[in-house]
Homo-oligomer: A and B are copies of this chain.
Amino acid sequence: MSDLLERLRGRGWRLTAQRRVVAEVLDGDHVHYTADEVHAKAADLLPEISRATVYNTLGELVSLGEVLEVCTDGRAKRYDPNAHHAHQHLVCSRCGTIRDVHPAGDLVANLPSEERFGFQVSAVDVTFRGICPDCAAA
Contact = CB atoms under 8 A, between A and B. Distances in A.
A98 to B, nearest CB: 11
Given A125-B127, A126-B126, A132 B103 contact: no
A12 to B, nearest CB: 26
Contacts of A121: 90, 128-130
Contacts of A129: 121-125
A133 B121 CA distance: 11
A122 B93 CA distance: 10
Contact of A71 (B74, B103, B119): B74
Contacts of A112: 103-104
Contacts of A103: 110-112, 115
Contacts of A120: 130-131, 136
Nearest to A73: B71
Tell me how many chains of this kind the complex includes: 2
Contacts of A74: 69, 71, 77
Chain A's interface size range is 35 or more
Given A103-B110, A111-B90, A128 B133 contact: no
Contact of A132 (B115, B117, B124, B136): B117
Interface of A: 69, 71, 73-74, 77, 90, 92-93, 99, 101-105, 107-108, 110-112, 115-133, 136
